[in-house]
Structure 1
């Protein structure tokens, strides 16, 4: 463990061994167990996001669609803790999946806010174009958020467990 005022550990599509090695509680895949503010259930000075977090023991699936909202949630939690206020709880919905199968083929599956599939999807070149668009929009959202913090918008209202 290294002392610091703030440490940000960034990884992608995987769960770092850092949480388990620290002695903090994790799920079976090594994701840090957090509450709905993404705060560790063992130490309120530790906040996790993305693929490394298991809010209420029920992590969201690994996908780009969820990465930015979880990052924004983690930032809001850290800023709330610094300000001495109660952080907001997670409010995010997954509304489908997008898969790239190369430059000329892809798939877009639409879903309800609970991430259950709707009977509507498209593929082929249109699917590839949609996936390319989502990647470009993702980068544009990151750039806008850097210029204007708090501007990130995402689908909300997905079901989450009720706090005990």
Structure 2
């Protein structure tokens, strides 16, 4: 009797976890299903490139998972019953199905967060996923020269979007609205370089600006100022998929699943959560930020913990720490801000063309890692301890 593992979501974290589990465990012992709403892998860290008209290489899951033993299932997750250990899904044709699991890996990630700001959902553009990026791509292609574009949000996504648009379309009037000062979390060297790039690209930076409303042709700030915006790109944070909050899982107020060091739900030991959907802590007991840099190591830890539980071996621990923040500033410029283990900027930073090349290698490496999640791992798969496969709840203490 195979142990049924279902992985929900095939972003960086989910796809990596599925592939690593396939390498750790034998096919005759486990059935691994990867549920995703799209048929191919989306390089989320490149959505600003897609939005500006650049071509991204397609990565169909049918090809990426060929020969791994992982079964891709194209469907949308509509509900989870953690007591009955079932997942409700709906496929592209509208057919509904219930999938039973013994172990669940929840990796449904996050989308844009409007923060309830009036007009955002109706008038702003979103680049947290491919559908939104493609809509923005179409809108920018129709936009006449000289028209204003405002990117709301001064974090990594906002910086990358604003600089990419400004570089690709120098004929547009691009502005960035940030709640704080430009790059206020960076080192002095990082902030100086960021300012130089923004100035060189002609980006108008509105600092200490809280956008409180989005209209068809402008955004409104807290002090009543109206900033012209033929196109508004909203990058002010992320919100997790709502499915987990509707379950009996222990979640935070924002819907993130609370997990332990093994990425295992603290309330339901048959459920593991990775990526943006999980609240895990790193060095200094600080919550890991939503990012690819957090999600992939979390996936490694979850997969290794599950494999160890099922095979009766000791689970290894993956270091959950940071080394740098990689920011593309268009295709020609970049910024690599080196950080402490708990993600605080240090003095050192890499800038310029070399930093842009470094970031490109990181993006390529992340996508390659999803397609090859087991590179460098031992090739011998361990047999499942049958008691664990039959009764997963009976081995709670082992992870």
Q: When the two structures are superposed, what TM-score results if normalisation uses the length of structure 1? A: 0.77
Q: 1:22 is matched with which residue: 247, 272, 279?
A: 247
Gaps of 5+ in 2: 1-80, 87-99, 112-239, 380-399
1:116 is the counterpart of 2:344: yes
Q: Secondary structure at the match of 2:362?
A: helix
Q: Does 1:11 align with 2:11?
A: no
Q: Which has the higher contact order (CA 8 A, sep 6+)?
A: 2
CA distance in 2, matches of 1:143, 1:91: 22
Q: Between Structure 1 and Structure 2, which shows a larger proportion of strand residues?
A: 2
Larger-Rg structure: 2
The correspondence of residues 22-101 of structure 1 with structure 2, limited to 5 A, is: 22-55=247-280, 58-101=286-329
Counterpart in 1 of 2:332? 104
Return the alpha-carbon distance in structure 2 between the equivalents of residues 87 and 16 of structure 1: 29
Q: Secondary structure at the match of 2:261?
A: coil
Cα 1:62/1:130, change in 2 over 3 Å: same
Give CA deviations for 1:96-138 in whole Å, capped at 9, x if unaligned: 1011122122211001222221101133322221110111222
Q: Cα–Cα, structure 1 residues 123 and 147, in superposed 2: closer, same or farther, change >3 Å?
A: closer
Secondary structure at the counterpart of residue 42 of structure 1? coil
> What is residue 158 of structure 1 aligned with on the other side?
none
Q: For the Cα contact (< 8 Å) 2:339–2:345, is it kept in 1?
A: yes
SS in 1 for 2:298: helix
Distance 1:71 1:110 in 2: 23
1:24–1:86 Cα change, 3 Å: farther
Cα contact 1:37–1:90 (8 A) shared by 2: no
Does the CA-based 8 Å contact 1:38-1:73 persist in structure 2?
yes
CA gap of 1:25–1:10, structure 2 versus 1, over 3 A, is closer
Change (3 A) 1:6 1:143: same
Q: 1:64 to 1:35 in 2, by over 3 A?
A: same
- 1:86, CA displacement in angstroms? 5.0
Which structure 1 segments of 5+ residues have no match? 152-164
Deviation at 1:92, TM superposition (A): 1.9
Matched position secondary structure for 1:108: strand
Would you say the 8 A contact 1:40–1:48 is kept in 2?
A: yes
Q: TM-score, normalised by structure 2?
A: 0.34
Aligned length: 151
Q: Is the 2:105–2:271 Cα contact (8 Å) retained in structure 1?
A: no
For 1:40, what is the secondary structure of its paired residue?
coil
